[in-house]
Amino acid sequence: MSKAVTKTDGPAKDTSKTLALHGPRLPYHPAIEERFGINKAAWKALVEAIFPNATTTESVILALSYCQARKLDPFKRNVHIVPIWSKDQGAMVDTVWPGIGELRTTAFRTGEYAGRCATEYGPDVTQKVGVVELTFPSWAQVTLVRMIRGEKVEFCGPRAYWLETYATRSRNDKSPNEMWATRPRGQIEKCAEAAALRAAFPEEVGGEFIPEEVQHDLGGGESAGRLNGSKVSMRSLESLTPGDITLVDEPEKYEVSEPTAEETAAAKADAEAIAREQAEIEAEEKLAASEQDK
């Protein structure tokens, strides 16, 4: 059997080093780059690594708008997108929440943040929570230091109680979710720090709650939670979507396309640059360690 041979001009292309990228999980539109400076490669990283729970392009755009207004780098995970079941809409709704990183950044930007004390924990408790038996601290408390008129002032945040705060698996299962089951101290510490940041920087941070603080009563299925008896409304698309957030009139104009050769080359160059930078950092760390050993 003979084989058909196609004649090509020039040398054969070496595809052994070509970086093949599949289209992003959520649709991308060129206007995203115009407004936020996010190209296709960066968009793919956003929707698959930074906002893996996002279910719509609009919710990611909302998060980017939030970061842009607050002058935050979305790749530093300062904002989270959490799909929540809405009773009113009878569907899952993407909600945007500030993370602990945003609260810390806001505090640092004042120039008055002077550090924090070690986290205090209440007595450890071992008991069955839902269907899971685990050991957890009964509460956590964080004290922050703020410079006021040249003086260091300590702000002791309220205690964050584990059983009042932990996130449940679902509405029908009161067991802690995977994160709270594997990191019982780390999760409650994060909540205690957020409470302390609100106490120390009330004007700058305001009433910003992080997702970890309000997921206990959400039970995986409510559109709002309760914290210490006060209702906490989520930042939902319905309430926060700006009037001009829609990039195109017809949804079918959203297209998932394969990257061009230029985009593939740029992504490869970025990856190589990151690898070189990491190698330089590791070399410097080894050199510093060897000098300390002398």
Reading the chain (294 residues) residue by residue, the pLDDT tens digits are 444 444 455 555 555 555 555 778 899 988 899 999 999 889 999 999 999 989 999 999 999 998 998 899 999 998 899 887 777 778 878 888 888 999 999 999 999 999 999 999 999 999 999 999 999 999 999 999 999 999 999 999 999 999 999 988 877 888 998 999 999 999 999 999 999 999 999 998 877 777 777 766 554 433 333 333 333 334 443 343 333 344 443 333 334 445 566 766 666 666 676 667 667 777 776 776 666 666
Q: Alpha-carbon distance 259 to 263, whole Å?
A: 6
pLDDT of residue 264: 64
pLDDT of residue 231: 35
| Four-residue CA torsion sign, 53, 59, 64, 65 | negative
Assign residue 90 a region (left: φ > 0; alpha: ψ between -120 and 50; beta: otherwise). left
Q: Alpha-carbon distance 186 to 177, whole Å?
A: 14
Q: Alpha-carbon distance 145 to 179, whole Å?
A: 29
pLDDT of residue 87: 77
H helices of the chain, where? 30-36, 40-45, 57-70, 100-109, 162-165, 178-182, 184-200, 202-205, 211-214, 237-240, 261-293
pLDDT of residue 149: 92
Task: Identify the CA nearest to 212 among candidates 199, 198, 227.
Answer: 227
Q: Alpha-carbon distance 150 to 250, whole Å?
A: 57
Query: The whole model's pTM is what?
Result: 0.65
Q: What single-letter DSSP state applies at residue 90?
A: T
Q: Cα 204 from chain centroid?
A: 20
Task: Identify the CA nearest to 94 among candidates 42, 43, 45, 57.
Answer: 57
